[in-house]
Structure 1
Amino acid sequence: MKRINRLSLWGTMLLVGLFVVSCNDWTETESVPQKTQRPNEQDPELWAQYIAALREYKQSEHALVFASFANGAPVATSEKDCLRSLPDSLDVVSLTNADNFSEYDREDLTVLKEKGTRAVYFVDYASRSAEFTDLTALGAYLDKVVARTRELGLDGLSFSGIPVFGSYTDQAAQKAVASLFIEKFAAVAGPGKELLLLFEGDPQFLTPADRSKVDYFVLDTKETDNATDLKLQVLRALSAGAVPCNKLLLGAMTEYEFTDEDKGAADAISALTIRIPEIGPQPLAGLCIYSVNADYFGAEFIYPLTRQAIQTLNPSK
C-alpha cells in the first residue's frame, strides 16, 4: 500500500473514531462538560499510529514543503497565529519573529516535534542589514541566536542576504558579513550536523565554498510574477550559483498572482508547485510558502493552498 494511502487511512480512521465518540449519546439530552479534547486525548492508540505514519513519511524521500511563519503574536487572534495548527505534513517552518519567541510558541513547539515538523530560527539580514553595519555587533547577535536556538530546542537556523555587485569595497563588506554568518551558523548547523541550516535568497550571497555548508537554499522567487523571470532565476541559481537541484527550493507567497507562458493567471503557490518537478534538469527539492498565516482561512479546510501543494508534490507518498 502506498504511504499516502496509509497516512490518509490513519487520518480517516482518526476522524471516524472521533465522530463516533462525539455522536454516541445523541438520543438523550444532557448537560456535558465543555472541556476540549484533542485527538491524542480521545483515542491515544489511533493517534500514535497516525503519528508513526506521519513521521515515517517525513523521513522518506519526498518533495519538501517549508513554510515561513510569523510567530510571536502576543495575543492569538485565531488559530492562524498558532504553530500547532500548521498542516501536519509540513516539513520545516521558518520562524520570522524568532527574536520574540513567545510562551505560546513554546507550547506549540512540543506539538510540532511530535509530528516531526522542524522549526528553524530565521535571521532576515536582507531586510535588517541597516541594523548590523558593525561586524562585532552582528557577531555578538549571531552568538545569541545560536545560544537561543539551543535553549529553545529549535531544529536549525536560517538567514537571508542580497548579493552586492557594486564597488570592490561594497563587495568586500558583503563577503565579510556572509563569512561571519557561515562562521557562526555552520559551526553548529549544516550537512552532517545536528541542526539544519537554510539560506533564503540569492545563493551568490555566499562564496562557492560556503554554499556546500548549507543544507537547503530557498530561492527568492516569492515576488516573481511570471514564468520567464522564474526560469531565469532558477537557471542562474543552478549555473552561476552552482546549487544542486536537490538542494534548491522555490519561494512562493500567499495572495500573489503568477502569469504563465500563455499569459494565464493563477495563484503563485499553485503555479510554482507544478513547476518544481520540471523547471530544472532534475526535480527541485521543493517549495517554501511565505506569509503562510494568510493561507489559514479556507471555505472547506484550513491552509488550503499549503495542503494542496503538499499533496500535488507528493501524490504517491
Structure 2
Amino acid sequence: MKNSSIYKLSALMVLTLSLAIISCSDWNEVESLGLKNQSLKEQYPKLYADYIQDLIKYKTGEHKVTFVSFDNPQRDPVNQAERLTAIPDSVDFICLNHPDDVSPEIQKEMTQIREKGIHTLYAIKYENFKEEWEANTKINPEFTEEEALAYFGKRTDDMLAICDKYNYDGIIIDYTGQSLVSMVPENLAKYNKRQKNFFNRIVSWREKHDHKTLVFYGNVQYLVPENLSMMEKYNYIALKSVLSTSGDDIAVKAYLALQAGEDVKDSLYVGVNPVPANRFIACVELPQADDKEQVKGYWNTKDANGNKIVAALGTAQWIGQYSPDFTRSGLFVMSIQNDYYNNTYGYLREVISIMNPNK
C-alpha cells in the first residue's frame, strides 16, 4: 500500500530501531531493569490507528486479493517465520495448513491480524477422504457404498465443525474430481452420489454461515452438471493452476470452468451460466531453494536476460491484465513460509505490488 500514514509508520519504525541501537551502545554492563518493550501501537497510537484505517480502506475497496497458505506450527511459534503477525499486512486471506489443534498463541494471532483485515481460512480436501477410504477398503474389501457415503459424510462434518471451534473466517473447499467424459453410467452414478453427499453438506453449512468466506478450489468442469447450481455460493473460484507454466494455460483453465456452465445453461439453468465469471483467482507456488533445475515455481518462458520467469511474478502480471470474458480477481500463493526463509517475503510483497500498483 502506498499512502502517507504507512510511510510515516515505517519512518517511526526506523527511528525507534535507531534510538534503541544508540541506547545499547551506551550500556556498560548487563542489568535486568524489568522494562517492557512497547509496540508501535502503544508508542504511536494515533499514527497506528490512521495506518489501520487506511489498511482497512484498501482491503474493503476494489483491489486484487491475495490468498496465501501457511505451515502453522502445531505448537506455539518460537520465531518470526512461524508467526501469522509477521506476514505482510496487505495479505487478505491466510489458509492454515494445519487447521486443527491450533495452539493458543496462534489462536491469539488469528484475532490480532483480523484487526488488519486479514482473514484466516483452512482447507477441506475431499481427496484426503477418498485416499483414507481406499486404504480402509484394502483392509476390508467387504465395505459397502452406503458405508463409504457415511464415512465421507462424517469426515466432512468433522472438518466443517473446525470453523466454529477456532472461529475461522472461512473455508476453502479443495475438490479435484475427474473427467466425466469417459465414465460408464454405473461409475458416473456413484461419482455423482458421492459428490452430492459431499457438497450438500457444504451448501448446508453455507446457509448457516453466510458471513464467512467460502472458496472453491478445483476443476469446475469435473462437477456433475446438476451440481453447478452451488457455484454462486462461493466468494471465489480458485483455479488449479499451480502447475501452469504460462498465462495462456491459466486462461484455458478459466475458460474450461466457464464452458462447463455454458454447456448446460439452456437445459438446466434457464439460459444463465451457473458459473460466475467475476471471481476467478489463480494459484501459484514459490521457487524452492533446493530446486536447482528451476522447475517448481517457474514458468517455461524467460525474461529479457534469459532467466526463467518466477511463476508468482508472471501470474501477478497476468492478473493485472484485462480479460473480456472473466474477471481476474487475485492470486493464491502456496506455502509462503518458504518465501520467508528464502527471500523474507520479498516475492510476496512484489506480487501484491504488481497486482495493485496504485494502491
What band does the TM-score fall into relative to the shorter chain? 0.7 to 0.9
TM-score (norm 1): 0.86
Higher-Rg member (1/2): 2
Count residues with an aligned counterpart: 313
Say whether the 8 Å CA contact 1:249–1:288 is kept in structure 2. Answer: yes
Counterpart-to-counterpart distance in 1, 2:254 and 2:276: 11
- The residue number in structure 2 matching 1:314 is 356
Q: 2:63 aligns to what SS in structure 1?
A: coil
* Residue 54 of structure 1, CA deviation: 1.1
* Residue 61 of structure 1, CA deviation: 1.1
Relative to structure 1, the CA distance from residue 109 to residue 192 in structure 2 (aligned partners, 3 Å threshold; closer, same or farther) is closer
Q: 1:246 aligns to what SS in structure 2?
A: coil
Relative to structure 1, the CA distance from residue 279 to residue 178 in structure 2 (aligned partners, 3 Å threshold; closer, same or farther) is farther
1:275 aligns with one of 298, 314, 318? 318
CA offset digits 1:149-203 (Å, max 9, x no partner): 1121110111111232233333333333332343223334379911111111112
Counterpart-to-counterpart distance in 1, 2:128 and 2:158: 19
Counterpart-to-counterpart distance in 2, 1:225 and 1:51: 37
Percent identity, please: 24
Indicate the larger mover: 50-59 or 137-146: 137-146
Say whether the 8 Å CA contact 1:68–1:289 is kept in structure 2. Answer: yes
Say whether the 8 Å CA contact 2:95–2:121 is kept in structure 1. Answer: yes
Say whether the 8 Å CA contact 1:64–1:91 is kept in structure 2. Answer: yes
Counterpart-to-counterpart distance in 2, 1:211 and 1:39: 43
CA offset digits 1:116-143 (Å, max 9, x no partner): 1111121122344222562222222322
| One-letter amino acid of the counterpart of residue 13, structure 2 | L
CA offset digits 1:216-255 (Å, max 9, x no partner): 1110001122444333223212333564442110000011
Q: CA RMSD in A?
A: 2.9
Map 1:1-317 to 2 at 5 A: 4-6=2-4, 8-19=6-17, 22=20, 25=23, 28-29=26-27, 31=31, 35-74=36-75, 76=77, 78-132=79-133, 134-165=148-179, 166-189=183-206, 193-206=210-223, 207-240=227-260, 243-255=275-287, 256-260=297-301, 265-278=308-321, 280-281=323-324, 282-298=326-342, 302-317=344-359
TM-score (norm 2): 0.77
CA offset digits 1:85-130 (Å, max 9, x no partner): 2111111112222134233321221222121111112112234422
Indicate the larger mover: 62-71 or 43-52: 43-52
Say whether the 8 Å CA contact 1:259–1:266 is kept in structure 2. Answer: yes
Say whether the 8 Å CA contact 1:65–1:92 is kept in structure 2. Answer: yes
Indicate the larger mover: 213-222 or 166-175: 166-175
